Structure 1
Amino acid sequence: MSQHPEDDSEALAERKMRFLFHLRSHGVTDPRVLAAMERIDRGEFVRGHFEDRAYDDTPLPIQCGQTISQPSVVGLMTQALNPAPRDKVLEIGTGSGYQAAVLSGLCRRVYTVERHRPLVSEAEALFQRLRLSNITVRLADGSYGLPEQAPFDRIIVTAAAEDPPGPLLAQLKIGGIMVVPVGQSDAVQTLIRVNRTDTGFEYHELRQVRFVPLVEGLGAG
């Protein structure tokens, strides 16, 4: 730490400015999404050994063998989800809580499901500290969604499934959007946007990604 706090704050401000520039240069152009990502400090969600890399555009390890996604992918997924201010959003895979926190500024309510109890506890404490009161965290098997709160205007999945999970498709409103990475866990995955219409589902491939696999059941601990 510098002996001159103003130097540290200037350096941090510059890193955050570069962070936003990097997002724009990687295709995150929606002003609402950029504003939400500017409001939510990724540094709050990266602790310990990797905290000095909080503003790098890279995924980083967190507890329970999970990762915090790279910011440009969070931005692109949020942009593809296109949440509206009155929407109710379901997130599968709370992880660090960063994606849910970004979404909280863009919609009415976020329900986020996590299978690892330590991550649920940490995320709840962090949301409370940041006064993000429109996020509800549930310890549950995300592959089944959250049927008691369905249907949802938007669903975002932050772990890769072999196919868009049927229970999640069923919990999506007509006119709703789901964004999900699809593919084998040890191979290339594709980010898919699913639009539910009156007659079925439309699938759009967005880009190649790499996520941890969507696993059934609750995690240990």
Structure 2
Amino acid sequence: MRASHYSGAVLMGLPVHRPDWNLIHLMRTAPGPAACRRTVVIHACVDVPAELATALVVAQTALDSPESGLMALDAALARDVASKPQVRVVAESLAGYRGYGHLDTVLRLGDGRRESPLESRTALTLDAWGFEMQPQFEVPGTLYRADGRIVGTRVLVESDGRGKYQDQAAVIAEKAREDDLRALDWQVVRVTSDLLDTPAKLMGRLRAALVRAGAQWPAHGRRLG
């Protein structure tokens, strides 16, 4: 047997979103039945070539959680240890599995330009609300690069993890950068894990930024309330 799903992703050094550390996922390497025990899930063998092992783990991870799946895929693309075509190939072997529908979204959004798991999670959330994100956006006429831009707007998105700014000088520099961008009529929305956990609050901030930028919430986007 070998580790699969998010257990395999963790062993490969790929990020995942809040896995259940009390439950281990294993996959048979030979024919045999699936089984579920108190702390271990044993999955039936999915036979793929050795070079597709990482792609298979990414796809399996997406079955359980699109957040984990996109985090793992973005990191795998950035490190060049798996490709989207490879994940598509192994996904065919998972047709009919619970959570299979997540793979379409994860594969559509996967982008190796994202530099952190928080950026991946942000992109997934904004996609559900009807927005398209352009990762690592070089702001025209400046030396600044934002984590992302909402396509078709002057709204920039910065994903702020706890370790992003290590000292006071970095915080001051970031504030000055943000002032410069606003002076050029760019709106900046800062996203944290806490805000993603309270989507109504994040929606309010995003809606206000769109109004200031003269843009609208997508008519096909999902809203709260």
Report the TM-score when normalising by structure 2.
Answer: 0.30
Q: Which has the higher strand share?
A: 1
Instruction: Specify the structure having the higher radius of gyration (Cα).
Output: 2
Q: Which has the higher helix share?
A: 2
Higher relative contact order (CA 8 A, sep 6+): 1
